[in-house]
Chain A
Amino acid sequence: NAGVTQTPKFRILKIGQSMTLQCAQDMNHNYMYWYRQDPGMGLKLIYYSVGAGITDKGEVPNGYNVSRSTTEDFPLRLELAAPSQTSVYFCASSTGWGTEAFFGQGTRLTVV
């Protein structure tokens, strides 16, 4: 059982480039989340989804977009990358609101 899988694990982007961070879960969870973690800080919610076709903004959504066409996948799109988006990105999933959350291994992104 793979759980939550994120790709890639590491990426270096130049300012202004775009990329998509992939997230897939095989637990048939309805809820999925994207967080970012900056050094010495807690995780902040970027976007979340409560099911296929439904997404909503979290605390820090600017500069990002998401889509949820299937239950399994929840990609995060960065448009026009900026140095402020240098961070570690975590995808997570849960069966529903308030239930135990399971996290992927993270994607370490550097924008130069």
Chain B
Amino acid sequence: KQEVTQIPAALSVPEGENLVLNCSFTDSAIYNLQWFRQDPGKGLTSLLLIQSSQREQTSGRLNASLDKSSGRSTLYIAASQPGDSATYLCAVNGAQGAQKLVFGQGTRLTINP
């Protein structure tokens, strides 16, 4: 059974810092991995989707990397801003036709002005 873990559960950093959020998964046979942002009381917003054949994806100040063999992904946020404060979730799609995303518990990020 695929399990996804995100550490740390919460992270607080000063504005302007570069930071890395971590995601690990137990079964390396994945199809892709998706990073989401969730604001309090809101739904999930897709940030980046990285295919199993890719090593990284970039969107603006965000860069997601994937090391499938070691079961790890990172989300790098450059020059953090208070508006980046949110919970960040990663989710993996299985490669065996599993019709679902398996989610981690999320990292709650706070950027302090």
Contact = CB atoms under 8 A, between A and B. Distances in A.
Nearest to A48: B99
A1 to B, nearest CB: 15
A90 B44 contact: yes
A42 B46 contact: no
Interface of A: 4, 6, 31, 33, 35, 40-45, 48, 50, 56, 58-59, 90, 92, 97-98, 100-106, 108
Contact of B99 (A44, A50, A104): A50
A5 to B, nearest CB: 10
A43 B43 contact: no
B42 interface: yes
Given A98-B31, A98-B93, A103 B100 contact: no
Interface of B: 4, 9, 31-32, 34, 36, 41-46, 49, 89, 91, 93, 97, 99-106
B43 A101 contact: no
Contacts of A41: 105
A92 B36 CA distance: 13
A104 B42 CA distance: 8
Contact of A42 (B41, B45, B104): B104
